[in-house]
Structure 1
Amino acid sequence: MAEVIYNSPNRLKVGRGLPVRVNLSFGVEKPTATSREREKVARILARELRPDLLMDLSVHKTAPEPWVHIRNIFDGPIGILPHYLLFSDTHGLCEDSLLERIKSVTSSGINFITVHCSPTHQLMELARQKRKTPVTSRGGSIVIRDMLINRRSENIYSKMFDEICDVAQQTGTVVNLGTAFRSASVADGLDEVVKEELIIQTEYIDRARSKGIQIVLEGPGHIPLGQLTEYWQLIEPLNVSPMPLGPIVTDRFPVGDHISSSINVAYLMSLSQGGIINAITAVEHQGGVPSFHHTFAGLQAALIAAQAASLNYCQDAFHEEQVIADRRADRQSCVLDSASAGCTRCEKICPLIHSNYPSG
């Protein structure tokens, strides 16, 4: 897959053969939530286990926006969805305002943006006919609603795509190609709608590449483990870094979404041998805002999945495992921070203490 270099302070690289990266999202949904989100992200960034990228998914306007504050304490790439704060229930989206916002944020600290170029009236109708839940993407549904409000024959991002590419080229911005019709449940999975949207997305990947734009593909939301190989076979020829939104492997355990996602995404990233994982919280489908503890647990699960996948192909990732193996051998304890051999759990029958058996 083509390597992506973010124009962020740390110049993060993503691509085939590189360690899998992890993105963590945050966002403000009401006026009183600003300090909560700032403090939550600051507490996470103060820990040893940190995300590689951040996304501000705020749907409530603040001054300054949360990502502006976070930029002061985070040197990795930060992204947004430009249309989140511009949408009106009565007027939809305005092309001039959207383009101006993209120019403003990408010249003042935002390194990647997610745009939804694939919604069409034909794809919407296919989703209505074939699915129980036609659309689950929040960003994609905004673009669809704008199409209906303003009676557009072509969605706003599709219409503006060349102008967006011009801005991205000037600012070194990475473009995330959003998946508006990712499945809302495992029961739909890799259905006809997902495959049709991929055909449309391929056109935009080619257009972006022709203009020298770095592009990332946001991927499936809910998909069975057994369909991931087929999904990878569909996107592998696109030569693009995947950034899956999940994917959730089962919907039966709604307070374990971070575990469900980590199972699936570790396998997908081992196939792709590079890309970006989105940290998913345990309460993704519980209707509330994740707490610090839920968010950090989701980050931990994503980091574990990233390491598990990276071990499949990346020597740097395996080196970290070798260091742990050496520590256990040297200290004769599986307790990594132990100052003495063994531990109180095993006491005198500890196998690490008595592992040097005589030969013969």
Structure 2
Amino acid sequence: MTQISAAARGNPASVTQIDHARAGTVTPAMRTVAEKEGRDPEYIREGVAAGRIAIPANIHHASLSPEGVGGGLRTKVNVNLGISGDVACEAEEWKKVDVALELGAEAIMDLSNSGKTAAFRRALVEKSPAMIGTVPMYDAIGYLEKPLVTITAEDFLDVVRAHAQDGVDFVTVHAGMNRRTIESFRETGRLTNIVSRGGSLIFAWMEATGNENPFYEFYDEVLAILHEHDVTISLGDAMRPGSTYDATDAGQIAELIEIGKLTRRAWDAGVQVIVEGPGHMALDEIAANMKLEKRLCHDAPFYVLGPLVTDIAPGYDHITAAIGGAVAAASGADFLCYVTPAEHLRLPDAADVREGLVATKIAAHAADIAKGVPGARDADNRMSDARRRVDWEGMFAEALDPVRAREYFESAPPSTEGTCTMCGEMCAMRTVNQIMDGLTVDLGKE
């Protein structure tokens, strides 16, 4: 029988979802997830207790509609947004939030990295039923108003604490890039070095100060903060490959080994875990990487960016990522971070967010069908039935992006009612429907 965590024993009142699950309690959040997934609540509780499922649900996030991330559940999709120093337009970020919620993103990561970000973050938590994630490292310089090299370990912990108190449901912490990981990176070399923004900042701090990664050195303190507010730790992959050339190299795998150890420590402290993964990766390496993560990280939920399966498609990287994401999720990944057409080029606008989100939702849904997730085919079957009946409203209702589908159809009205301009009077559905109704058809003409 799984033991209740030390953190939970120290506090008679269980705080986190994993505390409750290990104590045998099915929480309201677990019941909500079970209903959404078509699973028995006990299935969810057992998964949370074992760490196979995470339900990121900060105790301060009152507007949250809980989602489960992990084995046997629908693949979830995250949207990145946030205020940038070069494009510091909060109104544009709210447009992106609206698109994300309209199209059903299960998570939104606020990656704001310019100025004081707390007001936007708090408003996002207040508004959003989707789970909210952040990377506290991005916020450190603006929050603390100090040069990077003068920030102390305690300062970094203060930023994590502020995000937890503001109600974010999961935080990315790059704790696996310790001295051992960096040694592997330096010995073997890379084509694109460190491409993680948070990872590069920690690497710069470590090099300037000569200290160990503060999130690794003071990991227990980080976990204590997260446990207090039930914040899920998303163990960031600072050494993710930024090119297909660097995929599955010594730096990536060395960090993954460290993350596996940190996963167990988090669970022991009563903190839920998600593990982040690559990155850029050739198509034939993806499935093996998913299995490797599950083995080294003890079946913890896996959250991947893409992976992007080629490096030469700027402007179309939402497609390269969707290809990799579909393979990754079908092979065991549980959570996909969207990529937009603007990746590697500029901050995405609201239109880019729509393109990237829909592409990633297609990948996630295709993987769910392949994995046999309960109910995954239901919408497809309803769509096919509506197509057979040439029921346009029924088709729009089942579309991942009903607005786009309707715009395309209405942009070119057909001359023959009940068809579209692709086939017109030669519409196969219309022709066969009429024959099945006992009518004589002559090229679709009465």
User: What TM-score do you get using the length of structure 1 for normalisation?
Assistant: 0.91
| Aligned counterpart, 1:138 | 197
Residue 351 of structure 1 is matched in structure 2 by 428
Counterparts in 2 of 1:231 and 1:96: CA distance versus 1, 3 Å = same
Measure the CA separation in 1 of the matches of 2:290 and 2:93: 36
Partner of 2:107: 53
Contiguous gaps of at least 5 residues in structure 1: none
Measure the CA separation in 2 of the matches of 1:109 and 1:148: 32
Contact conserved, 1:334 with 1:352, CA < 8 A, in 2?
Answer: no
| Cα shift at 1:31 | 7.9
The answer as to whether partners of 2:96 and 2:353 remain within 8 angstroms in 1 is no
Match of 1:105 in 2: 163
Which of 116, 121, 132 is the equivalent residue of 1:78? 132
Q: Please, which of 157, 163, 168 is the counterpart of residue 226 of structure 2?
A: 168
Distance 2:147 2:270 in 1: 35
Alignment of 1:142-291 (within 5 A): 142-152=201-211, 154-237=212-295, 238-272=298-332, 275-286=334-345, 288-291=346-349
Instruction: Return the alpha-carbon distance in structure 2 between the equivalents of residues 125 and 159 of structure 1.
Output: 16
CA 1:90/1:239 → structure 2, altered by over 3 Å: closer, same or farther?
A: closer
Corresponding residue of 1:3: 53
| Distance in structure 1 (CA, Å) of the matches to 2:100 and 2:330 | 27
Q: For the Cα contact (< 8 Å) 2:82–2:111, is it kept in 1?
A: yes
- Per-residue deviation, residues 268-309 of structure 1 (Å, max 9, x unmatched): 10111x5111110112111x2112111211111111111111
Distance 1:65 1:133 in 2: 35
Question: By how many angstroms is 1:332 displaced?
Answer: 6.5
Root mean square deviation of aligned Cα? 2.3
Query: 1 or 2, which has the higher helix percentage?
Result: 2
Does the 8 A contact of 2:389 with 2:429 survive in 1?
A: no
Runs of 4+ displaced beyond 6 Å = 332-335
Larger RCO (alpha carbons 8 Å, 6+ apart): 1
User: Per the alignment, in what secondary structure is the counterpart of residue 77 of structure 2?
Assistant: strand
Q: TM-score w.r.t. structure 2 length? A: 0.74
Measure the CA separation in 2 of the matches of 1:351 and 1:305: 28
Equivalenced residues, count: 355
Structure 2 CA distance for partners of 1:42 and 1:23, relative to 1, 3 Å: closer
Gaps spanning 5+ residues in structure 2: where? Answer: 1-50, 397-408, 411-416, 437-446
Paired position in structure 1 for 2:40: none
What is the CA distance between 1:223 and its match in structure 2?
Answer: 0.5
Task: Provide the identity percentage.
Answer: 26
Matched, 1:321 2:380: yes
